[in-house]
Amino acid sequence: MRMSSLNNIAYIILLIIIFVLIPLSGNQYIIHIMILSFINAILASALDLLVGYTGSLILGYAAFYAVGAYTSTLLSINIGLSPWLGVALGGVASMLAGLAMGIPALRLRGPYLAISTLGFGVIVYLLLINLDFITRGPLGIPNIPPLPGAGLIDFSSRTSYYYLMLTVYIIILYILWMLTSSRYGRILVAMREDEDAAKAVGINTSLYRISVYMISTFIAGVSGGFYAHYIRYVNPDMSSLSQSIAILSMVLLGGAGTVIGPSIGAFILMFVSEILRPLLEYRLLIYGTLIILIIRFFPGGVYGYLIKNLVQRKTVSKEIVGEVKT
């Protein structure tokens, strides 16, 4: 095994150890922010499948997040379905919504695709507001049942929910890493670079594009379900344009086309937004300015910048060692 691979594994293990130890501090506020960060990291990583690996600009992605949250919520409250099953079915409902959007979007590229996904997000938002006999409209749905515990584990406890979301986050990140590093991932990148060339070598690009929409939106729906049963309140703002832009910003800030980059962007934006919260109306202005500056000066994202510097340092170190030996 290469030394670089061993280093990466060591970094990942160290990061997991840090994550595991955070709840031991007993700081409930930090635990709460970390739970939301895990949920957003999952959401951003799922969006990166579309933005980073297929080159699709999606502006209405929060709609799938909201579909998963509302589906799980309504099934749990109105039918009495187990929230665990509700989260899974929320992912399925979101996936079907992704399929419904993905098929018409097959012929669209660039800004036309972005506008169509934006329109889909607006439709979902308006449905959540106007179907008030089901969704309670702008009031949202409160008192959502929490995830039932197992044995001595009580998921109404923030610490237990923290470890649950950490586990889900690691599993989904591993699945996405396996997926993107496989032949499937290489085909997605080939489609992003030149779809006509991919078609010329016999790749069914339509099938791959629909499948990646379904995978991405399923994960978005699942994350929405976990959010609903943690916060125990949902409202139509979950599918708003500002929420979609926030998720897209996490991807671009961390580094599109990478597995870990969107997670970095999610953690940075979550903590920056909390730090700036006392500034009230100026918070969003500073928040937006920071995003613009980072994207402007680090086009590859924070992860891309870090990797580039690490590679340069290793190259310089090897050159110095080579000169010393000679």
How far apart are the C-alpha atoms of 252 and 51, rounded to whole Å? Answer: 9
Cα dihedral 225/88/96/216 (nearest 10): 70
Say how far apart CA 279 and CA 290 lie, in whole Å.
15
Q: How many helices (H) and strands (E) does the chain have?
A: 14, 0
pLDDT score at 96: 93
Percentage with pLDDT > 90 across the chain = 30
Write the pLDDT tens digit of every residue in 58-99: 888 999 999 999 999 999 999 989 999 999 999 999 999 988
Report the mean per-residue pLDDT for the chain: 83
Interatomic CA distance for residues 184 and 102, integer angstroms? 18
- The reported pLDDT for the residue numbered 171 is 92
Selected residue with higher pLDDT from 195 and 131: 131
Euclidean distance between CA atoms 27 and 162, whole angstroms: 12
Domains of the chain: 24-325 (1.10.3470)
Q: What's the pLDDT at 317?
A: 44
Q: Which residues on adjacent β-strands are paired with residue 232?
A: none
What is the pTM for the complete model shown? Answer: 0.87
What does R_g of the chain's alpha carbons equal in angstroms? Answer: 21
Q: Write out pLDDT tens, residues 126-170.
A: 999 999 889 998 999 999 998 887 766 777 788 889 999 999 999
